[in-house]
Amino acid sequence: MALREPGATGLAAIAMQTDRWFLWTPVALCAGIAAYFALPVEPPGVLFAILLVCGLASGLAARRGVALPVTLALAIVCAGMVLAKARMEAVAAPAIERRMGPVVVRALVEDADPARGKQVRVMAQVLSVEGLAAEATPRRLQLMMPGVQGLAPGAEILAKVTLVPLLTPVTPGGHDPALGQWFAGIGGTGFARDAPAVLAAPEPGFWLQAHRMVTQIRAGMGTRIQAVLAGDTGAFAEAIITGERSRLSDEATESMQISGLAHIISISGLHMSLVAGGVFWVVRALLALWSGLALHRPIKKYAAVAGLLAGLFYTVLSGMQVAALRSFLMIAVMFAAVLMDRPALSMRNVAMAALVILLFTPEVLLTASFQMSFLAVTGLIAMHEIFTVWRRGRVRLRGDRGVGREAVYMVGRYILLAAATSLVAGIFSGTAAAYHFNRISPYSLLANLVAAPVVSFLVMPMALASAVLMPLGLEGWALSALGFGLDTLLTISDWTAGLPGAAGLVPAQTAAGALLIAFGALWLCLWREALRLGGLVFVVVGVLVSGFKVEPDILVERTARNAAVRMADGQLAFADARRGRYAAERWLMASADGESLGAAAKRGAWACADGVCEARVKGRRVLFLRGLEGKALPCAAGDIVIADFPLRKQCRDAGLRIDRFSVWRDGSHAIHLADDGAIEVQTAQGERGERPWVTQVKARLSPQGPRSQQ
């Protein structure tokens, strides 16, 4: 334990809490990784090597005193940048630069998951693409195609596919979907109208055979579940047992998100702790019944091995999803601590799990699931530490309460702990959820408090029992009990989602504000005693900074199929009630607007007739032209002209022109209008910078040759 000096503050207090320095290692590493991804251009690798050497040299030079933690932190930040750069170089692969096709694609199926309707989402390892040289062929493609017999992992397919580059953000500076796909080795997406031809594939290797076997087991379990449980209840059961969520209706998913129970759908830390932890406690309890074994053998370690194997089985069964893998790693670190006679629930174990994940996949730092899960776990461990210190310093005289009073005490204690757990987890994970999804769940505490006993004592035990009993054909009663529990959860979710103000939407935050809030939350958790309270300063400043985000006055969808203007009251009004729905829904969420696209298109800001929509924004006349290519255009009537077709030489007198070519080249547009007449235009491509995962799109390519437009 580090020596403490009463009254020490600032860097001196930090320097004394040497036992907490390690906990900041993943935070400093995250800072370096985030700094790398925030760069506007890709720097040379030698620059990062120089930074790392300088950081290590400064850390070694400051061997003691207040400067040591600062220099060590800087060295780890540099290491984070080097790590991210090394990961980028390791996964670098060609990507589709233009729309192509239909072209013939020959590939090996890695995964095939059902999508909406009769479509199948296929992850494919590419063997060849018609019209592309081997050195320009992507390593993997994500394809949508009709399902066909034999379309399974390991199958070799031949399909006529239309290929497109990775998607750009729906708003400039927004979430970049291409980044995650690029780091997963995906070089493009595509769709096939006709079913692929499944060819005779060579004998798959061991891992592919294992993957195929797991896929078949999951599909068989899904069929067994559907035979007993129908509708959303069956889809819910399939989601928590096998990880397959495609059958769950949009209405049920929306209800769970609003109520704050959506975390139950995705296999994550909650499920892993209940399954692996439940097996640990059951095995330990059973072994304890054998007095000779309990007295002379480390039954706790035996139970930890059983829990570890149960967690591994659940992870494999769930399809090795990223969230499940991360949760298994965290639970594995805790069980490893038990095997080494160390405390299982400790902040050090969480830090080690985060380090392992970041070392292998630093890009996951940018994902909402990583941020939400680790913030929630960190908050819960901090709560456990504070509660433990409080309990040690408190003299408690329980006396003889009697059976009745003891039962009341135990129930009350469970309710309080469940409420505190839900509150802390909700607050800490909610900071990331608010930034990524513009949503908070004001009734999350209530919903989780009511749902917690149902999940802990009915849903997860029956889900585990169903999986164990399926090979014996005895799962019927367990699935029926599970269905009752899931129906109860859906009822709780629908009731909570129907409460006034349940759809808690928040406006888009600035990145700086979100970072300050997250840093403040970590400061509160990772330091001890009065030093913790400094985190409140960062949180307050972060909240204030988050409110300074300037919203654009005009938005243009990334295919120019729709446009929106901001009215005087701050609401968005759309020119079209149907097209560009995905982007429109994201824009509305970012504005904390819960209306549908159809309702937002009826707000009266646009006057539309014969393919011409006109609106006024801050004194400027905005024209949105639809389907008028080759016709006479009313260009003189608009200061800003937006068209869903190429304008070419038309409307050159307009102050600003944005047409189909503009969005094809630069992605979505955000326009800011100043009172002095100045116009600032932000584009998705411009905000992304010049990075390896940012595809500089080129003219469309077909088997007959290049075309002049996308």
CA-based nearest residue to 166, from 184, 153, 193, 145? 184
Residues 6+ apart with CB under 8 A from 199: 155, 156, 157, 158
A 10 A CB-CB count for 402 gives 9
3-class secondary structure, 100 = strand
pLDDT given at position 394: 59
Specify the CATH architecture of the domain 100-202. Beta Barrel (2.40)
CA distance 522 to 374: 10
Q: What is the mean pLDDT of the chain?
A: 82
pLDDT above 50: residue 4:
no
Calculate mean pLDDT across residues 442-455. Answer: 85
Model confidence at 203, pLDDT cuts 50, 70, 90, reads: low
Whether residue 665 contacts residue 552, with contact meaning beta carbons closer than 8 Å, is answered with no
Q: Helices in 105-230 by DSSP H: which ranges?
A: 177-183, 206-228
Residue 442 backbone dihedrals phi, psi, to 5 degrees: -60, -25
CA distance 564 to 423: 38
pLDDT above 90: residue 31:
yes
Calculate mean pLDDT across residues 92-113. Answer: 86
pLDDT given at position 698: 65
pLDDT given at position 393: 61
pLDDT given at position 67: 67
Q: What is the pLDDT of residues 658-698, one digit of tens each?
A: 999 899 889 899 999 988 778 899 999 988 888 898 887 76
Q: Report the run of H or E that residue 122 belongs to, with start and end.
A: strand 119-129
Torsion over CA: 114, 116, 120, 124 (sign): negative
pLDDT above 60: residue 318:
yes
pLDDT given at position 285: 84
3-class secondary structure, 579 = coil
pLDDT given at position 707: 41
pLDDT given at position 702: 44
Calculate mean pLDDT across residues 297-317. Answer: 84
Whether residue 243 contacts residue 217, with contact meaning beta carbons closer than 8 Å, is answered with no
pLDDT above 50: residue 6:
no
pLDDT above 60: residue 172:
yes
Whether residue 166 contacts residue 695, with contact meaning beta carbons closer than 8 Å, is answered with yes
Calculate mean pLDDT across residues 384-393. Answer: 74
pLDDT above 60: residue 395:
no
Model confidence at 331, pLDDT cuts 50, 70, 90, reads: confident
Whether residue 272 contacts residue 314, with contact meaning beta carbons closer than 8 Å, is answered with yes
pLDDT given at position 221: 83
3-state helix, strand, coil in the chain (%, to 5): 55, 15, 30
Q: What is the pLDDT of residues 121-155, one digit of tens each?
A: 888 889 888 888 888 899 999 998 887 777 777 78
pLDDT given at position 433: 85
Cα 471 to Cα 219, 233, 510, distances in angstroms = 14, 22, 52
Cα 113 to Cα 116, 119, 187, 240, distances in angstroms = 10, 9, 19, 16
Q: Which of 185-194, 343-352, 493-502, 593-602 has the lowest mean pLDDT?
A: 343-352
Calculate mean pLDDT across residues 640-649. Answer: 89
CA distance 362 to 32: 10
CA distance 240 to 213: 19
- 66-75, 182-191, 437-446, 461-470, range with greatest mean pLDDT: 182-191
Model confidence at 701, pLDDT cuts 50, 70, 90, reads: very low
